[in-house]
Amino acid sequence: MSTEVIANDSALPVSGLKLGATASGLRYKNRDDLCLIAIPEGASAHGVYTTNRFCAAPVIVARRHEANARPRFLVINAGNANAGTGDAGIAAALEVCRAVAGAGECSVEQVLPYSTGVIGQQLDSDRLAACVPALFADLAEDGWQRAAAAILTTDTRPKLRSATVVCGAHRFTVTGMTKGSGMIKPNMATMLAYVATDATIAQPVLAELTARAVARSFNRITVDGDTSTNDALVTIATGAAGNVSPASADDELGQALLGGFEQVCGELARDIVRDGEGATKFVALRVRGGYSEEDCARVAYAVAESPLVKTALFASDANWGRILAAVGRAGATRLDIEDVAIAIGPCPIVRAGQPVTDYDEAAVTAVIKQPTVDIDIAIGRGEHETTVWTCDLSFDYVKINAEYRS
């Protein structure tokens, strides 16, 4: 069968899935800050969550519920992370789940809660529970735009992507939304992301497709090196497009759907970096020649998270020595300086561990002044490569985070 993945910047509805949003006034005034996603019966869902040991109360509850029941509803609030809140935070998350379960006529375990916002403040579950009727009244298949806006915190814009997957005579939709701007170094997903398809996918296959898509999208971005307490990604397969389904992630249909997930997750992940708090530059760091992909990732993250590299990028300062220093401390397997080569855009900087003889700083500065910067690093130890996406570190990043609670 011929296969094709067609990208779409707008949010295509996913048959069977409905979304609603409303304003609770929990933290933000005059804007939606509460979202509900209704999943049809029989659909598959798979969640992956933060690796932060101090995970938020909703993450704890969502994991427990997903392990015991097939999800029917996801409820998401912005403005309060319900993290660092102890037993009271668990009770509050459960109270919101109970309100949704009552209105949705399902078990409490079929409701998964998610929160984002300020850490360490108790969640006003009564306020959120009172909004549940309004959420149900707003549910619609074309509710992606309002839902994506409702889950934002310091983001400057909603993040929505879609793709159409064509495999032979079959067509499927993959649509996703995410929020995230700061506290971004996901070790599994991003702060919050929800990706759905109308394909029929058994839960074990969906889990494998999710893991593969995340590995090269959300797990390859960093804004500031901070992993949130609330990170969560949920993938959903409604099955509304028909009975054909992949037998595994590796058969032709599975690979086609993986292409759709990778397209949507990749674009959403890069949208987060572009919207990094105070970011003025989008930076793609390609590292090649490692003993493994993870070896390459260690080098890429060392450079991407270096405050000195990030501030030099903000200043459009061609201070490439900061990049070389970060490569050297990254911990790559048996790294030899004589094997290292670095280029910024089309401009070679370092070759065989030494500055190139025809180095032109003016040309490099002109590249770094652009809103998108490509950095290529070769470490000469193997055949593997990976790309990490990041941004610069600006005055506004400090201002936004210094004034976050004021």
Distances (CA, A) of 400 to 17, 154, 242: 35, 8, 47
Report the catalytic residues: 190
- Which CATH architecture fits 282-402? Roll (3.10)
Residue with the larger pLDDT of the pair 294 and 189: 294
Looking at residue 82, its pLDDT comes to: 96
Read off the pLDDT of each residue in 271-300 and give the average, rounded to a whole number. 91
Share of residues in the chain with pLDDT > 70 (%): 97
Of 1-5, 140-144, 333-337, least confident by mean pLDDT is 1-5
CATH number of the domain located at residue range(s) 3-274 in this protein: 3.60.70.12
Phi, psi of 402 (to 5 degrees): -70, -30
* Domain residue extents for the chain: 3-274, 282-402
Euclidean distance between CA atoms 59 and 230, whole angstroms = 6
pLDDT in tens, 230-259: 789 999 999 999 879 999 999 999 999 999
Q: Which residues pair with 36 in a beta bridge?
A: 20, 75
Strands of the sheet containing 159-167, edge to edge, are: 3-8, 159-167, 170-179, 192-197, 232-237, 44-49
DSSP 148-169: HHHT-SS-SS-EEEEEEEEETT
Q: Tokens standing for 202?
A: 């058994």
Read off the pLDDT of each residue in 269-292 and give the average, rounded to a whole number. 91
Read off the pLDDT of each residue in 376-404 and give the average, rounded to a whole number. 88
For residues 211 and 166, is the Cβ–Cβ distance under 8 A? no
pLDDT in tens, 116-167: 988 899 999 999 999 999 999 999 999 999 999 999 988 889 999 999 999 9
Identify the CA nearest to 44 among candidates 3, 82, 16, 8. 16
Q: What is the mean pLDDT of the chain?
A: 92
Looking at residue 230, its pLDDT comes to: 79
Looking at residue 403, its pLDDT comes to: 75
